[in-house]
Amino acid sequence: MIRISLDHLIVVYLAIVLGVLFCVWVAAELFQNRRERRRRRDFVICGICDHIFEDRSEKHLLNCPRCGALTERSKVREI
């Protein structure tokens, strides 16, 4: 049988719990970033009225729902 003191058992238990929590946190951050990138890919900003709208189609040229201007799809960058 393996002999282990109570101090070592507590340290091993805490290390395992903290390791699992760290892995769960990293996985949640990765999934959230991927979801945010997908969501941001569908946003379009009108060059005339600066209206931001969402369009899930693959068209390159879109009509703005507010002013009706023809808008070119481009990457939306965060400030």
- Asked if residue 55 and residue 25 are part of one domain, the reply reads no
Question: Is residue 22 within 8 Å of residue 16, measured between CB atoms?
Answer: no
Number of structural domains in the chain? 2
Question: Is residue 53 within 8 Å of residue 43, measured between CB atoms?
Answer: yes
Total-model pTM: 0.59
- Asked if residue 2 and residue 27 are part of one domain, the reply reads yes
- Asked if residue 68 and residue 36 are part of one domain, the reply reads no
- Asked if residue 47 and residue 69 are part of one domain, the reply reads yes
- Asked if residue 71 and residue 36 are part of one domain, the reply reads no
Return d(Cα 39, Cα 76) in angstroms, integer. 11
Single-letter code of the amino acid located at 55: D
Range of the domain at 20: 1-41
pLDDT tens figures, 6-59: 999 999 999 999 999 999 999 999 999 998 888 878 888 888 898 888 888 888
- Asked if residue 37 and residue 3 are part of one domain, the reply reads yes
Per-residue confidence (pLDDT) for residue 9, from 0 to 100: 94
